[in-house]
Amino acid sequence: MTQDDADGGVPALRTDRLGRRYGRAWALRDCTLELPAGAVAALVGPNGAGKTTLLEMISGLLEPTEGQVSVFGETQRAGPAQLLALVGYVAQDHPLYRDFTVADLFRLGRAMNPGWDQELAAARAEVLGIPVKRKVKSLSGGQQAQVSLTMALAKRAPLLLLDEPLASLDPVARLEFMRDVMATAADANLTCLISSHVVSELERFCDWLIVLAHGRVQLAGSADDLIAAHRLLTVPRATQDAELPGPVIQRTDSDRHSAVLVRTDPLRLALQGHASWQAEPVSFEQLVMAYLQRPATATTQDDPAPAAARPRPSTKAVTR
């Protein structure tokens, strides 16, 4: 597939100061991201953070108010058709034509997508036991989700967007659905962007992390790098934020000590750390939750990290 194109270093996805406004309210603003080819990225954020808006703009379904999207180097200016062909999109509510049979849907997919892989579609339907002669509306929620995924996969698009794909599925169906996504990702060097608010499930699926909140990107990068760039410190309560070796993401004060999640690196911690401090690595879930709980006034990750000890608003996130 397009992995050859990607070898030249062209990212699978790049958004540049992307924004979308509805009336006076910005659903998403200043969104600058890059996703390398082959990554499986988690897009995390509370309801209303702008996840669906971002995915719809990437897929070409929604026009940005400002900024631009490029998928494997193609921008909208090249024509929406080019962009559409590169992106497979499984929308949140699996909007399929409910009165169509599955076979009709496949026929439609074939007519609309030059790269349509009928063999893949038919084989998946058979393996999953989906009766292709039945109407979509008579299928179970899990089967509808699988049909929707099959449509996106058979399109043979190198970038797959999944918007809350697991929301309507029971635990077994979730597992089967993600099993297919993971196996396809291994096979086809697919790049995936998966939105979800079930944070605990994402670590095993994703090696890239994007946290959206308040319509802005709070954190983005390789999951391993981001985890390595944060430490959970236990420090005496009297310790000021400015004394800590990096920006404070979350602080929980007890009577005598404080637990602080700091963005820092081992070298900086060794130089600026105090002997009485305890430093622990942070887990994927802790990291995501801390960024999700940051108040809207907190600064985003675009701050140059070394400039660190900048004054923060005195809003200390108290999580207990």
Partner 1 sequence: MFRFRLDGSSGVPPYLQLVHQVRQSLLLGYLREGDRLPTVKDVAADLVINPNTVVKAYRQLEHEGLAGGRPGQGTFVTATATPVPPEVNQDLRGSLEAWLRDAGEAGLDDEAVTALIAVARRDLKREREKVR
Binding track over 236-275 against partner 1, x by CB under 8 A: ----------------------------------------
**Least distance CB 223 / partner 1 (angstroms):** 9
**Least distance CB 207 / partner 1 (angstroms):** 5
Distance CA 165, CA 184 (A): 16
By CB under 8 A, name the one of 31, 33, 39, 298 that touches partner 1: 39
Residue 125 CA, distance from chain mean position: 27
Name the residue nearer to partner 1 (CB basis): 38 or 64: 38
Q: Does 128 bind partner 1 (CB under 8 A)?
A: no
By CB under 8 A, name the one of 179, 237, 274, 310 that touches partner 1: 179
Q: Does 40 bind partner 1 (CB under 8 A)?
A: yes
Q: 212 to 241, contacts with partner 1 by CB under 8 A?
A: 224, 227
Name the residue nearer to partner 1 (CB basis): 224 or 302: 224
By CB under 8 A, name the one of 4, 119, 187, 255 that touches partner 1: 187
Retrieve residue 172's tokens: 């077994």
Query: Among 2-10, 37-45, 71-79, 295-303, which window interacts with partner 1 (CB under 8 A)?
Result: 37-45
Q: How far is CA 118 from CA 56, 96, 127, 152, in A?
A: 25, 18, 14, 12
Cβ neighbours for 196, distance < 8 A, ≥ 6 positions apart: 42, 43, 44, 164, 165, 166, 167, 202
Place of tokens 């995936």: 192
**Least distance CB 39 / partner 1 (angstroms):** 7
Query: Among 116-124, 146-154, 184-192, 251-259, which window interacts with partner 1 (CB under 8 A)?
Result: 184-192
Amino acid identity, position 314: S
Name the residue nearer to partner 1 (CB basis): 54 or 188: 188
Phi, psi (degrees; rounded to nearest 5) at 84: -60, -35
How many residues interact with partner 1 (rule CB under 8 A)? 20
Q: Does 183 bind partner 1 (CB under 8 A)?
A: yes
Query: Among 21-29, 131-139, 171-179, 260-268, which window interacts with partner 1 (CB under 8 A)?
Result: 171-179
Q: Does 205 bind partner 1 (CB under 8 A)?
A: yes
Name the residue nearer to partner 1 (CB basis): 84 or 227: 227
Name the residue nearer to partner 1 (CB basis): 16 or 265: 265
Distance CA 216, CA 29 (A): 6
Distance CA 199, CA 202 (A): 5
By CB under 8 A, name the one of 133, 204, 256, 320 that touches partner 1: 204
Q: Does 185 bind partner 1 (CB under 8 A)?
A: yes
Q: Does 320 bind partner 1 (CB under 8 A)?
A: no
Which residues bind to partner 1, rule: CB under 8 A? 38-40, 175, 178-180, 182-183, 185-187, 203-207, 224, 227, 283
